[in-house]
Amino acid sequence: MTWHATVLTLFPDMFPGPLGHSLAGRALANTVWSLDTRNLRDHATDKHRSVDDTPCGGGAGMVLRADVLDAALDAALDVAFGAAADPRPMIVLTPRGRPLTQHRVRRLAAGPGVVLLCGRFEGIDQRVIEARGLEEVSVSDTVLAGGELPAMLLLDAVIRLLPGVMGAAESADDESFAAGLLEYPHYTRPTDWQGRRVPDILLSGNHAAIAAWRREQSEKITRERRPDLWAAFTQHNPRPVASPATAP
C-alpha cells in the first residue's frame, strides 16, 4: 500500500519542493508514497479568508483558529481514508513539541502515512490540539517562520526508509542515531589527498578490525559532540563496546 502524507498549510505551493527530487522524488513518481497538500484558507468562513485572530489574554502575534483547523482536518481525513477510519497519526510541527527522533521516524515509516499540520504566526489554538489528539513534534531547538520546512524534514527522514527507496536496506543501519550513536567518519579515493591519508586500518582488508575502529570512532564522536546521546546510550549499554583498534 502507498504510504500517504497529507500536509495542511497556508502555503501548499511549497510542496513537494525538495521532496520532488532525488530519492524522495523518484519514490513519489513511482507511487511508493503520495502527497496531498491542502490550503487552510479553503476552510475560512469569512470573505477575507481569515484563518487567525488575536490571542486571548493579549500579547503579540496572531493565533490560528481552532474552528478553521478542525474543518481542515475533517476534510483531509474524509478524502484520504474516511474521517472515522483514518489510522494515520496527526502531527503538528511546533518548537514546543517532543524532539523528532530516528526511532519515531522508523515507526512512522512502518505505518500507513501521516497527517502534518504546519503552524504559522504565534501558534495554534490549544483546544484543537487537545480535541483532535494532535501530537506535537519539534525538529530542532530553533524557531522558524512556520511548520513547512520541519514538515519537509520529517517527510524526507521517513520516505528514505520506505521499502525500495534506498538502494540497499542496510544503508540505514550504521547511520547516526540508528543505534543511539553518531556515525563514524567516511573516506574514499584518492587515499592521499593534500597530504591527508585515509586511515591505514580502512585499507587493511581486516573487516573485523575495521568494524571495531568504526565503532570506536562512533563512540568517541558521540561522547564529544552529543553528551546527551552518550548518556542515554551508556544507560542502556553499561559497557560500551570500545575497541583498542588504532589508526593514524
The per-residue pLDDT for range 114-165, each reduced to its tens digit, is 999 999 988 999 999 999 999 999 999 999 999 999 999 999 999 999 999 9
Whether 209 and 112 map to the same domain: the answer is: no
Whether 121 and 183 map to the same domain: the answer is: no
Identify the residue with better confidence: 244 or 12: 12
Within-domain flag for 121? yes
Whether 50 and 73 map to the same domain: the answer is: yes
Whether 59 and 154 map to the same domain: the answer is: yes
pLDDT at 225 exceeding the cut of 90: yes
Within-domain flag for 169? no
Whether 116 and 198 map to the same domain: the answer is: no
CATH at residue 204: 1.10.1270.20
pLDDT value of residue 237? 87
Within-domain flag for 12? yes
Closest among 131, 248, 243 to 196, alpha carbons compared = 248
Mean pLDDT calculated for residue range 156-175: 80
pLDDT (tens digit per residue) in 72-83: 999 998 665 665
Q: Is the dihedral of CA 82, 84, 90, 96 positive or negative?
A: positive
**11, 83, 227 from 20: Cα distances, Å:** 16, 28, 36
Domain hosting 100: range is 3-159
Q: Of 46-60, 70-84, 113-127, 186-200, which range is least confident?
A: 70-84
Within-domain flag for 243? no
Mean pLDDT calculated for residue range 101-113: 97
Within-domain flag for 165? no
The answer to whether 2 and 28 have CB atoms below 8 angstroms apart is: no
pLDDT value of residue 172? 59
> What does pLDDT average to over the chain?
91
Whether 47 and 114 map to the same domain: the answer is: yes
